[in-house]
Each structure stands twice: as C-alpha cells, then as structure tokens.
Structure 1
C-alpha cells in the first residue's frame, strides 16, 4: 500500500490515470451513451434493474458504480458483468477488501469455466475455491512439475553434502545447490507469470493486487466488490497502474471500513470515507446504478432502511414480501412465528440496565442475554431449526456472555446456532435473527450504535423474522 502512495506521489496530476482523476475530482465524469445494440444476457434470471446495471457498467468509458443494498443480487449482477467482459476477450482483475469477499465471487464464477486464477495462500481460501488457486495451478502445470524436479535435486545434493567428508566435493555441491536455487526461483516466477497471463479473470484481495504475482500484469478492467467496506488507500492499489475501466460495487450506507478503536481513533475517523462513497459525493447519482429489488427480507423489516436510507427505493420481491417463520416446514403458528418484526423494551428502570464496565471495555447486558435465551427457547419449541437461527450483538463481551449461556442451556443445538458480532455477520442470511443491542443506561448513551449505517447493517441481515431489544 505504501508503494501505491509513492507511485501516485511521483506523478504530476496531469499524468495520473483517468480513473484516479475522476475519483478525486480532478476530471469530470461523463455518463456513457446508451448503446442501441441489444445485449444478450447469459443469466435469464436477472431482473430489469440488474440488467440496466449490467448495461451501464459495460457501456461506461472509465468508471461505473453498482450500488447494491443487501439482498438485491449484487453478486449475481457482478457475475454477469464478468461473463460479458470475458466474452469480449478482456482481461479482468477482481478484488475485494477481504478473502471472503473475493472467494464469494470465485465460488459463483467457477461453474462457468472461464479461465481464472485465485491469488492467495490456500490456507486462507474457502475449500470450494482452492482448486482455482495459483498454488494448485502451479503444482499441476508443466513448469511447476519442473520446479518440483529441481527442488528434489536440491534436496538430494543437500543430503549428499551432509554425508561427504571431502571439502572440495562439499563446496562443489553447495555451488550446485546455489545455482539450482536461482534456477528454481526464475522458473517459478516464469511459471506464475504464464498462469496469470493465460487467465482471463484474476482474483485477489486489494492488498494482494500489489503483490509480485500481479504487479507485472496489465488488466483491461478492474472490479472491486464490497468497495463500501474497503479503506480508500486499499482501493487505489489495483488502480495505480491505469486499467481502462474500473467497476466498483458495494453499499456505502452499511458498515464503513473498519478502523481500530484506540485513544487516537477520533483522528482516524476520516479514513472511514471509502473511495466508493467519495466518488458518489463528488459526482452524484449519475455515476451509479442502484439495485432496488431485494430477495432477502419481509416487507416490514425492509421498511425502515428503505425509507430512512434508500429514499424509499427498495422493493421486496413477491417471494419474500410476506414470508413468515410459520411458513417454514414443520414450524407451528405462535405469537413469534407469525410476526415478522418484534421489539422488546429493555429500559434500565425495568431491570435491564447494561452491566457495569470500564469506559474502554466491551459492553455486556446479562438480563438482555437471558431475554434472548427465553425467545430462543420459544423459537426452538415452535419447530424452527437451530441452523436457521442467529443471535447477534454489536459487542464482543455480549457475544461471550451469550455463547456461555446458550451452550449451557442448549448443548445439543449450540453448534448449529450462530452467535456472533454484527460486523462479522454482515452479508449472511438466517431465517430468524435475535438481536441484542446491549446498551441501556440512565444517561441514554448508545456509543457507536448512533451510526445509522451500523443499524442499517443490522436490519438488512435477516430473512423472515427479526427480534430486537430496544434500549
């Protein structure tokens, strides 16, 4: 990342790539001219809004944003864009701020047999995408097999050197090993470059895009997914070498880039502005297309974020619009399974005040955790499967408290019930969500929960049922 800054600093403003100029307001953005040629879509399941977003991204000259609130099929739309670009024989670099964001694309892209390679250590990748990793590609390539033969020869000479007592022979063996090591590095680098060069789609984290496996390659198009969660500096890494086009996809109205919380955090808050959000603020709605039909949650759950953050643009597809827990197989009708949205007041005067903790310690609320346990029991007794339930909270201390409580009460179901933080759960789906907000005090302090983007991330996680505690 530091090298990216140095590269940019060394350039005069007029010498910067056009995408960088537009991103920082040094050049104007001109909306693409709509093509008269009818586009043949590969995916016949795309809705009209998704098709419009695909066409917009393909027609853009240099920069296009896809604004995808959760559940609106952003990944599906990106897969169509990638397939269209690959069909035009363009070389594409797909990036994201985390391994999981990149692996989600790689996993969905796999069945279409587009020549692709995933850059990254196999230990950090999803099992379903390891077969596309660079390490595996090298292993089974002719160049990789030759590298393995050289390594075997090095090992043999090393073992021989340990046994020989003749100093002259030992020096000769070490000279051979040194030469073989050099040859191994050269051939390994050449093998890597050949594989990456032969791939139409290369997938990497944003940090990985600055690595030696990619740095020597040129790409026609860079696609950055989850761009609303990426640090701005990260997003610049794949752009500094000047691709012809960049497509950013994400949602700046959800959780911002993660900034470590320290005593100096306030001075770092400016880093929460992502490149995605900066571009929207600079160039307005003409630079983006918003996916508006969501397939994840009941209409009542969707109502708050739609009105409060998305200018009432979100629409619930008919498949989820009135979906309830009681519609699931073997789930009986109860007060909780027939209501899509339930709130429980945890006012401190009612005995639900948060636990006493230090000013800089994670917060917890034992009474609220007990309330979550009670409603979890009701859902399980109604027939909701443990794997369909998640309990989430903004605070790690509450995660630990809930985990201990649920494990002791429901030992058989515990492994299937997901308990975690809001940040860690973003983008996931469950049929039922129990949300513990924790904060409940006389001063009415809610800390970082005052950030409406965090509340939005919470509201858009679930599918058919949402039970939240209100401080």
Structure 2
C-alpha cells in the first residue's frame, strides 16, 4: 500500500463492515488490531472513535491495551484505555472497597490506627487477622481480574502493539480477525505474538518503505572471518612448497541411485575465508530445487528449504508470505490522494511498476489553488505557486556540511542550505501561504 493511497481509511472500512450488524452480517466478528508502534495503533484508534453510530446497533466498543504513559495524549484515546475503562466500571468500585478493607487490616496488624496506642494484636487475634488479610487479598485479585475480563469481553475491537498482545490481560482471549498495521516495519518475531490469537490474518504495509531497523552482527562476523581467511591465505602462500610429495588418494563412496540426499548435509558452513552466503535470497536460490516434483520425499525437501528460518531479522513476515505464496495473496492500492501527478510519477516508475495513479482531486492541485494564496504578478505566481516541484542546485557554491559529534557518526548540518530554505519559506509566506500549511523536513 503506497503512501497516500488510503491504507488507514481502508482498514477502518474493513473494521466497520466486519463489526456492523446488518442483514447480511447478523453476527459481527471480533477484531484485534495490532501495530509495530504505539503511534500506528493510536492512529487507527483515533479514526475508529470518530466513526458515527451505525444505523443498526450501538456505537462500536473499542479498548486500547497498553500503558497509559505510552498512549497518545488525546482525551478520547486515553478514555479508551483498559485502565480508564476498568476504573469506571461497577466491579472496579467493589474491588476498591475490598482494597480499602485490606489496607485497614494491614494497618491494624502494624499498630498504625488511632486508638490502638501503637500496639499490634498478638497471639490468636493476630493469627485470625492474618487469615482475614489472606482472604481479602484473594478476593481483591479475583475482583480485579474480573474487572479486566469484563471490559475486554464487551469490546468488539481490541487494539494493542504486537508486544502488548502477549500480556496477561489477553492470555485467554481469541479473535475472529487480526489486523497488523505497518507490518513491513515490524520484525517477524513480534508479529507471531498476536497471530495465534486469531483465525484470520490481514497484513497492511508497504514493502517499498523503510524496513524495521535491525542492528545485525552477522555481516560483521562474516567480515571478521573473511579477514582471518585472507591472513590464512597469505601465510600459506609464504610457506615453502614440498616437491615430489604425492597427494594421498581419496576414496569417496557414491550414494545409492535411489537415495535422495538431504540438502542440509550439503549446506556450506561459515568458513574462515568468509565465503558464506550474503543473504537469504542467495541461500534459497542455491538450495531450493528449480521445480518441485510430485514425489513425496522431494516435496518434503522442497518445503524444508522454503520454510527454513532466516539468517537475520531483516526479513519481515510480509515479505516471507509473498515469497512463499506469490504476489496473488496481496492487493495493491494504486490510487493516491496526496501528491501532484508529477511528484507521484517518480515513485510510481521506480517502485510500483507504473501502477500508481493520481486521483483527479490532487493530480493537478497547486499552491495557487489555495484560497489564501495571492501573488503580486504572473512571474511570481508561476515561480512560487504554479510549480509542483522546485530544486535548488547548490553544487559549486561551497556550501560545506558540518558534523556535530564524534567522527562520521554525529549529526550533519548545512547552515548555508538552511538559509536557502529559510528564504524560500519567507517568500511563500509573502505570497499568502500560511505557516501552518508549510512543512520543513530534514534527513
């Protein structure tokens, strides 16, 4: 789903249709929505809360599972969290009463309440009170768990990050449909946490955008071994060769003709010369047979090669499923509603095989179409308001970058280029473009 094609709107519509009571859908399904980050989950929650009440049935009941400190600071979103809903329920009031009795009993045992003169009960009376404390603790845990269970059971849509889906609150809950948003930015391992809780899976994401950030030491390890291999080769080349020494004869027993060799036995191990495979794709290409045959044993070997675990966490579940089952399992949203046609032409050609089209509402929109934009003359209007893309070539201007930090790992900045941007923004504001309509993005 390319950027600006309405991925979030599509997911909201899927959720709305699945959870709305209609003659064709008399029994709405229960949905769990997960995401790679709290922001992606809260974005969907905010859209769901804005949905109007359906013609049939009540308003959609949604619950956000997660720590309130990590939830978007929006009143509607905060009110939908599990903690807030649980605190407002009737069962929560009963649990608070039990907790109050428990605290009072503990205070008496410690001699804190007034009138006890600081003396705690002793002997049989103390043992009796400890039995009461144990009973109150058990009752409090039962009521507190009942509050959480009651809130989640009444929710049609439960939202959480992939990590939070493995929490104790959801350990006994099952869902009809699981939606994972931004699946191409989530590691495959975390996607499996909520998958086992649902009967159907929907992945949403764009494999052409940034993948999950992985700090992998695999390549460094291979490079290190490669360096050792080079040293070994160099040292062996300096060794004086022995002359007239016959090589020992090797006898290799050939396997029977009807025996199928396990491909795992021929898998090249990481050698000291750094000659290991560089990627999963090369491994699969080298090991998997060109065409699987109908033989059962060969089919088993073929599936074993196809389903082999990745060598790193860079392969997402989205990419893995597409590779296993082909592009027929995915659907491309090919109409974008965000960019001018000239801007969208580049990603469409480079990343989406020219399948991306622009909606008429944005295909030719320019700054001059804004009601507040007003240029002084035609040249100014054409230069500032009538051009969808503007490039500033600073080559040869001696606009040198400055690095703040240690070596090349610090933050880079270019004060001269920042001055160019500042001047251009001032010119846009001068022709009527509002500051709230301008965004400045830097690497």
Structure 2 residue corresponding to 1:84, chosen from 3, 17, 22: 17
Q: What aligned pairs does 1:99-248 form with structure 2 within 5 A after superposition? A: 99-110=38-49, 111=51, 112=53, 113-126=59-72, 127=74, 128-160=76-108, 161=110, 162-163=112-113, 164=116, 165-168=119-122, 173=129, 175-241=131-197, 243-248=198-203
1:311 matched to 2:311? The reply is no
* Structure 2 partner of 1:354: 401
Q: CA contact under 8 A between 1:302 and 1:316: conserved in structure 2?
A: yes
Q: CA contact under 8 A between 1:235 and 1:275: conserved in structure 2?
A: yes
Task: Determine the C-alpha separation between the residues in 1 that align with 2:368 and 2:154.
Answer: 51
* Structure 1 partner of 2:230: none
Task: Determine the C-alpha separation between the residues in 1 that align with 2:340 and 2:394.
Answer: 24
Task: Determine the C-alpha separation between the residues in 2 that align with 1:147 and 1:364.
Answer: 56
1:273 matched to 2:229? The reply is no
* Structure 1 partner of 2:8: 75
Q: How many residues get paired?
A: 324
Task: Determine the C-alpha separation between the residues in 2 that align with 1:362 and 1:266.
Answer: 24
Q: CA contact under 8 A between 1:91 and 1:221: conserved in structure 2?
A: yes
Assess, with a 3 A threshold, how the Cα gap between structure 1 residues 285 and 184 changes in structure 2: closer, same or farther. same
How far is 1:197 from its partner?
1.8
Question: After the TM superposition, which parts of structure 1 deviate over 3 Å for at least 4 consecutive aligned residues?
Answer: 155-161, 169-179, 262-270
Gaps of 5+ in 1: 1-67, 395-471
Assess, with a 3 A threshold, how the Cα gap between structure 1 residues 265 and 216 changes in structure 2: closer, same or farther. farther
Q: CA contact under 8 A between 2:367 and 2:373: conserved in structure 1?
A: yes
* Structure 1 partner of 2:415: 366
SS at match of 2:441: strand
Q: For structure 1, which segment, 158-167 or 331-340, has the greater mean C-alpha deviation from structure 2 after superposition?
A: 158-167
Gaps of 5+ in 2: 54-58, 222-309
* Structure 1 partner of 2:385: 337
Q: CA contact under 8 A between 1:90 and 1:220: conserved in structure 2?
A: yes
Q: CA contact under 8 A between 2:177 and 2:201: conserved in structure 1?
A: yes
TM-score (structure 1 length as normaliser)? 0.64
Task: Tell me which structure has the larger Cα radius of gyration.
Answer: 2
